[in-house]
Amino acid sequence: DLRVRVARLVACKVTLAARVDSFHESPNGEQGKFLLSEIERRLEKLQEPPPVKAIKPLLP
């Protein structure tokens, strides 16, 4: 499941990077570095364990 999510995320960011590159919008590579940092941030977020659900007591 994580592999599929990461693959889709990388594919989307690569598509954006290709569009930026084709229009020569970021000649110094700043946009590519930003996209890479965004991928790394999202990857860390996906690897975190899910939050613990609060246990609701049963009413008598």
pLDDT recorded at residue 44: 96
In a domain, 53, yes or no: no
- Domain extent at residue 15: 2-47
Q: Which residue has the tokens 């965004």?
A: 38
The answer to whether position 24 is within a domain reads: yes
pLDDT attached to residue 19: 95
Give domain status of residue 17, yes or no.
Answer: yes
Give me the pLDDT at residue 22, please. Answer: 92
Residue 30: its pLDDT value, please? 95
52 lies in some domain: no
Examine residue 55 and state whether it is found in any structural domain, yes or no: no
Length of the chain: 60
Q: Is residue 43 part of a domain?
A: yes
CB environment 15-41: b (16+ within 10 A), e (fewer): eebeebeeeeeeeeeebbeebeeebee
Alpha-carbon dihedral sign for residues 28, 34, 36, 40? positive
Residues of the chain with pLDDT under 70: none
- Looking at residue 59, its pLDDT comes to 84
Q: How many domains does the chain have?
A: 1
Whole-model pTM: value is: 0.77
